[in-house]
Copies of this chain bind each other. A is one copy, B any other.
Amino acid sequence: MTAVPLAQRNRFELLAMEAVSDPVLDLLASHASCRSYRPDPLPPGTLERLMVAGQSAPTSSNLQAYSVVAVEDPARKEALMALCGNQRMIKECPLFLVFCPDIHRLHYVCARQGYPFGAAFLEMFLLASVDAALVAQNVATAAEAMGLGSCMCGSIRNDPQAVIELLELPPGVFALVGLCVGYPAKPLEVKARLPIETILHHERYSTDDMESGVHAYDRLMAAGRTYDGRRVSISGEPDTSRDDSYGWAEHTARRLTRPETIAASASLRENLRRILEAHGWSFQ
């Protein structure tokens, strides 16, 4: 997989300074989301190898509170695409994986052994969601190690009920993130991140570097013309302005004040709790 670094690949400056030549760190550091795919099929055994990597992730108390649904059928991928903000990559990629927090299996194990399930709390929802996310990240790393591209899709949560029905997810199972896997159709662009001092805190949380970090990153992203042609409108009319005051801060603030620009169908994501409560999850 060819990754074309942008001029603003600031997250690598440190690695370069340290003259790291570790292949794993290099792989992780050159991650870039792949948003278009060649139709080429994957080599035999790819899915099984990805799953070995995924199942090797840590899992809380060895509960293994997750399942993975592999979608390769073109009609089903097209149906999922329609539920995920019409992102074409979901139809294009040969393999679309859906990572699901899963307490259905744990309910079964309790019933099998004759005990009532006593863990219906927010904590269990969070534990299963973390389990599933750790698996997803390991699978993404493995895919990239195999020369494939990947893209994590939170848009699988745009319409949770429709995905539950399409994938026949039983109570206690929902789709947390999707992952496109396939051969990149074009070179990938590595994206810069907030400065390390904005994210990393020593001994206690500190906001000392927050404004300087947000400012620096905002200017970096604005200078890279990152948001040209995709500015978030707050007036109802498309925002076609091109002044450089619009950077990461303005883009992010507009999205958070209008969260439907994150979820293609925010009204449904706003219903996430109601849908999940009706499907076997508790938030007490």
Contact = CB atoms under 8 A, between A and B. Distances in A.
9 contacts: A28-B141, A58-B151, A63-B262, A69-B205, A72-B203, A113-B250, A115-B234, A121-B273, A130-B133
A234 B31 CA distance: 47
Interface stretch (A86-94, A181-189, A235-243, A252-260): A252-260
Interface residues of A, number: 125
Contact of A110 (B23, B53, B256): B256
A115 B64 contact: no
A20 interface: yes
A200 B255 contact: no
A1 interface: no
B68 A200 contact: yes
Contacts of A31: 56-58
A117 B28 contact: no
Nearest to A63: B252
A81 interface: no
B28 A56 contact: yes
Nearest to A120: B259
Contacts of A11: 52, 55-56
A163 to B, nearest CB: 11
Given A25-B145, A59-B193, A109-B256, 16 more contacts: A25-B53, A28-B141, A55-B196, A58-B151, A62-B252, A63-B252, A63-B262, A70-B201, A108-B207, A112-B214, A123-B272, A134-B152, A137-B138, A168-B205, A170-B205, A170-B207
Nearest to A15: B52
Contacts of A123: 157, 259, 263, 269-270, 272
Interface string A87-112: 00000000000001000111011101
A contact face: mostly helix, strand, loop, or mixed: helix
A126 B125 CA distance: 10
Interface in A185-234: 191, 193-194, 196, 198-207, 210-211, 214, 234
A169 to B, nearest CB: 5
A148 interface: no
A22 B199 contact: no
A62 to B, nearest CB: 7
Contacts of A18: 45, 48-49
Nearest to A144: B24
A29 B139 CA distance: 11
A67 B257 contact: no
Interface string A127-141: 101100110111011
A146 B23 CA distance: 10
A133 B30 CA distance: 19
A142 B272 contact: no
